[in-house]
Structure 1
Amino acid sequence: MPSPAIDRRSFLQLVAAATAASSLPATLALVADETTPVSKSAAEIPVVGIMGVNGRGSALAKAFMTAGAQVGYIADVDERAAAKGLELVKGQQQLAPTITDDFRRILDDKAIDILVVAAPNHWHAPAAIAGCNAGKHVYVEKPCSHNPHEGELAVAAARKAGRIVAMGSQRRSWTAIQEAIGKIHAGEIGPVHYARAWYNNRRPNIGHGVVETPPSWLNWKLWQGPAPERPFKNNLVHYNWHWHWHYGNGELGNNGVHALDVARWGLGVDFPIEVTSGGGKYRHDDDQETPDTHLVTFNFPQKKTVSWEGLSWSPLGSMANQFGVSFHGEEGSIVIVDAGYKVFDLKNKEIGAVTGEGGDVGHVVNFLKCTKSLELPPADILDGHKSTLLCHLGNIAHRVKRVLTTSEKDGSIVGDEKAAALWKREYREGMEPKVG
């Protein structure tokens, strides 16, 4: 559905070809220095500013330093997490990073080449867009957006500013999985019509939160950022926000995006034409809003289908693996297992297996190379948006409780006003993300 910030035709034009970069006002009321060319590549020793270091941000700080970058800023609204992040960085590099609770200081600093976004989901796209508008390259954690509209804006912002923006889909850079996808594309298991993706876990009851005064160590207003303000509840921070639509995207957006990205990559598909959701919230009596039992089917115009199964209360996944993706061809199957893969013939006999090395470092190395060469990275924001959009569509189908018909051109919802209304969200006044 078109948006006030950028219409769909403009979005598609921006996706089709990157325009010449220019210095433009940054979102969230910050302005980039007009003397700084935003088409420049990262410095020989790139300097990064990390937004959010309580969880993934700390792992990414290690990966970026291992890959040869320096951490120039740690921005976290939790002063305890910021202190731990400082100790982590001080133990691995000589440069003492600046500590702040407001990531917008990173945007203001011309010495920072790269913004790393590892805050909660509702911040991912708004911060990434702000980074592009301020002339920074951006590494954004998955999912790259909280809703489809933000994903479109993130792609448009990256292309307009000429910035490298990558999503944290690490498997795109894992050698063994690249090899497996190459075999699928080369036809080694014949024409492939179906991919099954899954994620299983046993998550605890989050209880019923109590509204209370935010703790002294937390800047609750900045934590909420672009999301309309709500009172602080004592069972939200720092992980259970995933299970609330206001901030998160459920297990589908939390871990399902990794598996769906590999499935879409292997099948060579972009946007679905039909999305069906089944399941619900069955296990706990608590504040969780998102489903704990979720099965989603995506049909694509190339006569290909992807299914995803997410169980948040039963840890046994398909083939006894908690996470995986299986590709089913007319001449055999390939199953992604951990960082490697297995090959099966039509009698279900394993005829090959390759182990691989996972982690974040290889993905970060690839991203840093692209910030210098200005070539698109393995997990470019457009691919990130396409895979994240599957999560959004699966969640929307769940919320409206019916099958969605979608456009093969851009994934937009066809003929369903109630579902299409979930394409974007409301924002706190003055903080709606905008392409510069």
Structure 2
Amino acid sequence: MTRMPDANSPEQYALDRRQFLQAVGSAAGTAAVVGTLAEPRAAVAAKGPNEKLTVGIMGVNGRGSALTRSFVTAGAHVSYICDVDERAIAKAAAIVGDQQQIKPAGISDFRKILDDKSVDILICAAPNHWHAPATILGCAAGKHVYVEKPCSHNPREGELAIAAARKNDRVVTMGSQRRSWPGIVEAIQKIKAGEIGKVHYARAWYNNKRPNIKHGQPAEVPSWLNWTLWQGPAPEKAFKDNILHYNWHWHWHYGNGELGNNGVHALDVCRWGLGVDYPIRVTSGGGKYRHDDDQETPDTHVVTYNFPGNKSIMWEGLSWSPLGSMLNQFGCSFHGENGSIVIIDPGYKQYDDRNKEIAASPTGSRGGDPDHVGNFLDCVRSSKRPNADIEEGHKSTLMCHLGNIAHRVNRVLTTDETNGHIANDEAAMNLWSREYRPGWEPKV
């Protein structure tokens, strides 16, 4: 018997895309593209410095809404707002408001963004299991990509995302905004200039008081949700009433726990300041202590990363206790032979070797998205590498994956300093990739 394609599958999409594009193309002022999903698309034509860059935004229930505002403010034109939750589309469209003459088209399937040659950029702010597959498809379609952190759901996806960016000569950045914040940039410059002496150690932390997510029950899929497309590349599971729109973070099937959720930001800054790439040893401690619920990822997590050259990074995450180091929920500190620098958003404080404060970031140091979005758009126009290039994003995201893998196999990992691969541990390397829904395996 011939298998009928899934309505949300690449096969079915290839069958009906022409009809869809005839309808959406006229509404959005776009032209249809002929070909199949697996075919590489022609690269988007370069635009002059005074021409608006056109974007399509995938996932607007959380970070995507903030990015919608930032890209519009930066002068980009939003052609598409995409979400599998139909309620979210109108909210994001309201952010665009009257700031552009042609209103964005509201869609549920991001592949329609890929098929529109007039779109320069794909912004992916969907859940983690979508980040790398969407990035890879975006690059193949000739789009530059702004992908939220973490840039992958597993290590292999990160490697493929780099390969896709390079093969298709696309600018791909990860949403690690601190790479572009002036106060933090200044702090890193001081560290690299030797102002606190040789730095051996960096510490990162994130604290919160997250609620009990309870034990979810099987439920009917809400009428406003395309559950199959929400899952996308992840193998299909039955809908439960405690997954959306945030608790997927705490399920390995879709998320990466607090380490991949917020730890990636601080670990990225630590790795940047120490000037390290891949660790040689990863040690994990902690577990799930606080709530009796469906959370699979640890709520109490301490991970230590050892690097060549007598350098190490430690991350502490507590999802049930809001008091963090330096009385802040989020931050990181660098410890040198002649002093320390503590980064607390959006800037820093510098201390001598007797803990006396001797410098701080300039008053009015900015945080948020504008500098990072601006850097990305500038690089799309100039074909330069952005502050948070996908390769840097992968190295920092990999630290999260390695910490989670060490937790899941319950042992210390020995890793290759040239690529981060796990040595002599088959069970751990089995977590380097994942199973995918048939037809959605990422390829370059």
1:29 to 34, 37, 45: 37
The equivalent residue for 1:313 is 320
The equivalent residue for 1:218 is 225
Q: Does 1:59 align with 2:66?
A: yes
2:439 to 403, 412, 430: 430
Contact 1:50 1:117 in 2 (8 A): yes
Match of 1:72, SS state, is strand
Contact 2:44 2:119 in 1 (8 A): no
Deviations 1:328-354 (A, max 9, x none): 000000000111100011111111111
Contact 2:179 2:269 in 1 (8 A): yes
Deviations 1:105-159 (A, max 9, x none): 0000001000000000000000000000000000000000000000000000000
**Equivalent-residue separation in structure 1 for 2:76 and 2:36 (angstroms):** 27
Contact 1:26 1:133 in 2 (8 A): no
1:82 Cα shift? 1.1
The equivalent residue for 2:12 is none
Describe the shift of the 1:192–1:39 C-alpha distance in structure 2 as closer, same or farther (beyond 3 A).
farther
The equivalent residue for 2:282 is 275
The equivalent residue for 2:89 is 82
Q: Does 1:407 align with 2:407?
A: no
1:261 Cα shift? 0.2
1:360 to 364, 369, 377: 369
The equivalent residue for 1:376 is 385
The equivalent residue for 1:289 is 296
Contact 1:27 1:434 in 2 (8 A): no
Q: Greater relative contact order (Cα 8 A, min sep 6): structure 1 or 2?
A: 1
Q: Please provide the CA RMSD for this pair.
A: 1.6
**Equivalent-residue separation in structure 2 for 1:260 and 1:312 (angstroms):** 17
**Equivalent-residue separation in structure 2 for 1:42 and 1:295 (angstroms):** 48
Identity of aligned residues (%): 70
The equivalent residue for 2:8 is none
Q: What does residue range 323-402 of structure 1 map to in structure 2 within 5 Å?
A: 323-354=330-361, 355=363, 356-402=365-411
The equivalent residue for 2:310 is 303
Detail structure 1 runs of 4+ shifted over 6 Å in the superposition. Answer: 25-28
1:282 Cα shift? 0.3
Describe the shift of the 1:27–1:264 C-alpha distance in structure 2 as closer, same or farther (beyond 3 A).
farther
**Equivalent-residue separation in structure 2 for 1:380 and 1:197 (angstroms):** 22
The equivalent residue for 2:196 is 189
Partner amino acid, structure 2, of 1:49 = G
The equivalent residue for 1:22 is none
- Structure 2 gap segments, 5+ residues each: 1-32
**Equivalent-residue separation in structure 2 for 1:27 and 1:74 (angstroms):** 23
Describe the shift of the 1:330–1:39 C-alpha distance in structure 2 as closer, same or farther (beyond 3 A).
farther
**Equivalent-residue separation in structure 1 for 2:197 and 2:63 (angstroms):** 38
Contact 1:30 1:108 in 2 (8 A): no
**Equivalent-residue separation in structure 1 for 2:354 and 2:114 (angstroms):** 56
**Equivalent-residue separation in structure 2 for 1:342 and 1:108 (angstroms):** 48
1:85 Cα shift? 1.3
Partner amino acid, structure 2, of 1:251 = E
**Equivalent-residue separation in structure 1 for 2:321 and 2:34 (angstroms):** 44
**Equivalent-residue separation in structure 2 for 1:347 and 1:28 (angstroms):** 64
**Equivalent-residue separation in structure 1 for 2:325 and 2:35 (angstroms):** 43
Describe the shift of the 1:290–1:159 C-alpha distance in structure 2 as closer, same or farther (beyond 3 A).
same
Deviations 1:336-394 (A, max 9, x none): 01111000111111111114210101100000000000000000000000000000000
**Equivalent-residue separation in structure 1 for 2:278 and 2:195 (angstroms):** 25
Q: Computing the radius of gyration over CA atoms, which structure comes out larger, 1 or 2? A: 2
Q: Bigger CA drift: 82-91 or 160-169?
A: 82-91
**Equivalent-residue separation in structure 2 for 1:207 and 1:378 (angstroms):** 40
When normalised by structure 1's length, the TM-score is 0.92
Q: What does residue range 233-248 of structure 1 map to in structure 2 within 5 Å?
A: 233-248=240-255
Contact 1:27 1:130 in 2 (8 A): no
Contact 1:122 1:145 in 2 (8 A): yes
Contact 1:32 1:107 in 2 (8 A): no
Describe the shift of the 1:39–1:153 C-alpha distance in structure 2 as closer, same or farther (beyond 3 A).
farther
Match of 2:178, SS state, is helix
When normalised by structure 2's length, the TM-score is 0.90
